[in-house]
Amino acid sequence: QPEEPRYLNFKHSQPGSGLNRYSSTLTREHDFPAAQAMLYAAGVPNEHVLKTYPQVGIASVWWEGNPCNMHLLDIGKEAKKCIEKQEMLGWQYNTIGVSDGIAMGGEGMRFSLQTREIIADSVETVTCAQHHDACIAIPGCDKNMPGVVMGMARHNRPSLMIYGGSINPGYSKLLQKPINIASVYEAHGGYLYDSLKNPSDPSQTKEDLLNDIEKHACPTQGACGGMFTANTMATAIETMGLTVPGSSSTPASSPAKMRECQKAAEAIKICMEKDIKPRDLMTKKAFENALVMMMALGGSTNGVLHLLAMAGTAEVQLELKDFQRISGKVPFIADLAPSGKYLMVDLFEIGGIPSVQKLLIVAGLLDGSTLTVTGKTLAENVESWPSLKQGQEMIKSLESPIKPSGHIEILYGNLAPNGAVAKITGKEGMKFVGKAKVFNKEHELDDALNKGQIPRGENLVLVVRYEGPKGGPGMPEQLKASAAIMGAGLKNVSLITDGRYSGASHGFIVGHISPEAVVGGPVALVKDGDTITIDADNNRIDMDVSDEELKQRLSEWKPPKMPVTRGVLAKYARLVGDASTGAMTDLF
C-alpha cells in the first residue's frame, strides 16, 4: 500500500458533513453564485433543493448504434426519476463507448481496449469537476464495466453500478434452433471452409444460412448474452458488492431492469449516509470473491486484464498468481456459452446470480462477510433470495462439476516470462505441442484463414504477435481468427498471442503473452518451425530454443516502427503498461 493517496486530495471540497458534502462547496451561501445560477438553469426548482439535496451524477455509456448500449439512456432517465423521489438531484451524462462486435471490423478493434481508460477518465473527470456527491454508472458493453468501476475507484465517492443487462437469444428459422452472437462468428468460419450446412435441408446455400443467422442473432437490446466479457465483468462486479443484488443477471428487456433503478436509488442514499465508498468495497477479499465467481462460471480471459486494472486503480495488491491460486480451487460449474449451451437470460429464470452466490457462500468458496452497496454484507443480501430452481441443469453441483478446477490457467515459461493467460476448459485436452507458424499482426493470419491456407494434419501453434497493448496498439482481440478456426473445425491448431481474445472465444488459446513482442519479449523471437509446448497441467509455455540461441536472436532483433505516431492510439501506446498488470495507463 502506498503511504499517501496518490489521487488528487479534495481538501477544499469537503466542507460539510451532510449528504451534499461535495456539492455544498457550490451551493452554500454565495461563494460560487455563477455555479448556483447554472444549476437553477439546469432544473433545480428552488433554494431549499439547491441548498440541501445531494447531487448524484448518472453516467451512462449510452449510444444508439449497438444493442449493448442503445437502451442505457432510458435506464438513466428512470434512475434520475428514482433519485428525485429520494430527495436528491440526479444529473445524467454520457461517456463514450464502442461495440466490440462492430469494432471487430478491421482496424477498429485497436480502438476498443483504450475506451476503458476514456470511460474511467470521463467518470473521474465529471464527478470531480462538477462536485458530485455520488455516482451511479450504467454500462453495457465489455470495456464499459471495468471503465466505470475504475472511474469510481479513482474519485472514490459513494458509487454503484446498474448493469445494462443481457440480450435475449435469437432464433434461426432455417436451422430451427436458438442462436446468439457466437453463432455468427462460428457460422462465418463454416462459411469460409464450406462446412456451413443445414443437415435437414441440403438445398439451402451457405449464403442463405449466414444471412439468416446475421438477421436473427440479436433480437433485442442488451449485451452479448453468454458468459462473454460483459457478463464476466458484470457478475464479478456484482459479487464485489458494487451493484444491488441481481443486477448482472437481470435481462436488458425485462421490466425488472427498470425496477432495479428504485433499489439503486435507495442504495446510493445508504452509501452516502454510511459513507460507503468504492474503495471500502473493493478490498482484496472482494476481488478474491470476484475471481471465485469468474472461475465458477467460466468467465472470459479479458476478466483477468480488467480485474487486474480495477485492483491496480483501487490500490489493492492483486496479481496473476492470485488467478491461478483461485482457479486451482474453484470448480467450473456453469454450462454457459461460449463453451456451454445456456445464456444469462436462462440463468435469470432459475434464480440469477444471487442464487449462485448463495450456493458458493454455503460451500465456503465465497466469503459472505464482504460489504456491499446495500449497506449489508453479501451473505445478508442473498439470504432471502431463492435457491437455484429444483431440477435445473445449467449450474452443476460442486460435487460433480464440468471441471474440478477453474478454466483460467496462468502460464509462464521462456515464451512468457511475465505470464500468459489461457482459457482451458479441458474439452480440447490439457497439453498441446506443435510447430510454430508466425504471423506479425492479426491480419496476416486472417488472410491465411480467408484463403484456407492453414493446413489440416500436423499440429501447428499459430503465433500472432505485435498485437500487445503497446504494439497493436490497443491489444486487439483475435476473435475472428479463433472463431474461424473453431468454425472450420481445425482441430490441429492452437492460437497464441500477445493480444487478447474476445470473451466469445474458445478452443486451445493463449493470450496476454508478456512481455509483449514490441518491447522485445521472447514472443518476438519465435521462428517458423520452432516447437512450442503449452502444458496447462504444469502451467508452462515454452519454445524448444536454447537460452544462447534466444540471446543471439535478441541481438539481431530490431523493434518495428510504431504503426501510429499521432492521435489517441499514439497517446495510448505511450502510456499503457504491461498486460500482466492490467494494461493500465495511469500506473507510472
Q: List contacts with Mg ion (CB under 5 A).
A: 100, 142, 229, 502
Q: In the set 26, 39, 56, 68, which binds ligand FES (CB under 6 A)?
A: 68
Site string for ligand FES, 230-269 (x = CB under 6 A): x---------------------------------------
Residue 579 partner contact from ligand FES, Mg ion, none using kind-dependent CB cut-offs of 5 to 8 Å = none
Other C-beta atoms within 10 Å of 408: how many? 26
Identify which of 209, 409, 168 has the alpha carbon closest to the alpha carbon of residue 304. 409
Among Mg ion, ligand FES, none, what binds residue 224 when CB lies within 5 to 8 Å by partner kind?
ligand FES
Q: Which of Mg ion, ligand FES, none binds 55 (CB below 5-8 Å, type-dependent)?
A: none
Amino acid identity, position 466: Y
* Structure-block grid coordinates of residue 550: 534466444
Which grid cell sits at 336?
Answer: 454457459
Pick from ligand FES, Mg ion, none: which does 230 bind, CB < 5 to 8 A by kind?
A: ligand FES
What is the C-alpha separation between 397 and 442, in angstroms, rounded? 40
Give dist(CA 264, CA 584) in Å, integer: 29
- Among 54, 57, 90, 101, the residue binding ligand FES under the rule CB under 6 A is 101
Asked if residue 223 binds ligand FES (CB under 6 A), the reply is yes
HSE, CB side, 13 Å, CA atoms: give it for residue 506: 22
- The CA-to-CA distance between both ends of the chain, in Å, stands at 15
Q: Which three cell numbers stand for residue 458?
A: 500436423
* Contact flag: residue 142 with ligand FES (CB under 6 A): yes
Minimum distance, C-beta of residue 494 to ligand FES, in the bound complex (Å): 24
Contacted by 223, from Mg ion, ligand FES, none: CB < 5 to 8 Å by type: ligand FES
Least distance CB 344 / ligand FES (angstroms): 11
Whose Cβ is closer to ligand FES: residue 156's or residue 232's? 232
Of 95-103, 193-201, 434-442, 485-493, the segment contacting ligand FES by CB under 6 A is 95-103
Which CB, 143 or 216, lies closer to Mg ion? 143
C-beta separation of 580 from 320 below 8 A: yes
User: Quick one: what does residue 101 bind among ligand FES, Mg ion, none, with the CB cut-off 5 to 8 Å set by partner type?
Assistant: ligand FES
**447, three cell numbers:** 488472410
Instruction: Identify the CA nearest to 235 among candidates 320, 402, 360.
Output: 360
Amino acid identity of residue 15, one-letter, is P
For Mg ion, the closer of residues 100 and 578 by Cβ is 100
Residue 141 contact among Mg ion, ligand FES, none, beta carbon within 5 to 8 Å by kind = ligand FES
Q: How far apart are CA 380 and CA 374, in angstroms?
A: 10
Complex with Mg ion: residue 57 or 469, whichever CB lies closer: 469
Q: Looking at beta carbons only, is 100 or 288 nearer to Mg ion?
A: 100
Strands of the sheet containing 159-161, edge to edge, are 89-94, 55-60, 134-138, 159-161
241 vs 259: CA distance, rounded Å: 19
Name the active-site residue from 502, 505, 514, 580.
Answer: 502
Task: Kindly state the smallest distance separating residue 223's Cβ from ligand FES, in Å.
Answer: 4
Q: How distant, in Å, are the alpha carbons of 89, 359, 394, 578 from that of 382?
A: 30, 10, 20, 37
Residue 141 found at the interface with ligand FES (CB under 6 A):
yes
| 226 is a contact residue toward ligand FES (CB under 6 A) | no
| Torsions phi, psi for 193 (to 5 deg) | -100, 15
Residue 99 interacts with ligand FES (CB under 6 A): yes or no: yes
In angstroms, the CA 465 to CA 118 distance is 25
Q: How far is the CB of 166 from ligand FES (least distance, A)?
A: 9
Q: Grid coordinates 451511479 are at which residue?
A: 136
Stretch that binds ligand FES, among 221-229, 284-292, 323-331, 343-351 (CB under 6 A): 221-229
Residue 182 or 350: which CB sits closer to Mg ion?
182
Of the pair 97, 190, the CB lying nearest ligand FES is at: 97
In Å, how far are 227, 232, 539 from 393, measured between CA atoms?
16, 20, 31
The residue count for binding ligand FES (CB under 6 A) is: 10
Among 452, 249, 213, residue whose Cα is nearest residue 355: 249
Residue 464 touches which member of Mg ion, ligand FES, none, C-beta under 5-8 Å by kind: none
Position with the least CB separation from Mg ion: 100
- Which listed range, 111-119, 222-230, 478-486, 507-515, lies at the site for ligand FES (CB under 6 A)? 222-230
Taking the C-alpha atoms of residue 433 and residue 531, their distance in angstroms, rounded to an integer, is 7
What's the closest the beta carbon of residue 99 comes to ligand FES, in angstroms? 5
Q: How far is the CB of 231 from ligand FES (least distance, A)?
A: 8
For 455-514, give the DSSP string. -SSS-EEEEEES-STTTTTS--B-HHHHHHHHHTT-TTEEEEESSB--TT--SSEEEEEE
For ligand FES, which is the closer residue by CB, 91 or 185?
A: 185
CA 202 to chain centre: 39
Residue 109 binds: one of ligand FES, Mg ion, none (C-beta under 5 to 8 A by kind): none
- Which lies closer to ligand FES via its Cβ, residue 302 or residue 539? 302
Per CB under 6 A, 61 contacts ligand FES: no
Asked if 163 and 238 touch (Cβ cutoff 8 Å), the reply is yes
477 is an interface residue for ligand FES by CB under 6 A = no
Q: Quick one: what does residue 22 bind among Mg ion, ligand FES, none, with the CB cut-off 5 to 8 Å set by partner type? A: none
Q: Which stretch binds ligand FES (CB under 6 A): 152-160, 224-232, 363-371, 460-468?
A: 224-232
CB of 320 to Mg ion, least distance (A): 20
Closer CB to ligand FES, 124 or 142, in the complex: 142
Which cell goes with 229?
466479457
Q: What burial letters (b/e) apply to 120-152, b meaning 16+ CB within 10 Å?
A: bbbbbebbbebbbbbbbbbbbbbbbbbbbbbbb
Verify whether residue 502 is a known catalytic residue: yes
DSSP string covering 380-394: HHHHTSPPSPTT--S
Q: Which stretch binds ligand FES (CB under 6 A): 57-65, 93-101, 391-399, 450-458?
A: 93-101
- Of the candidates 109, 110, 112, which has an alpha carbon nearest to the alpha carbon of residue 97? 112
Backbone angles phi, psi at 269, to 5 degrees: -70, -40
Residues that bind ligand FES (CB under 6 A): 68, 99-101, 141-142, 223-224, 228, 230
Residues involved in catalysis: 502
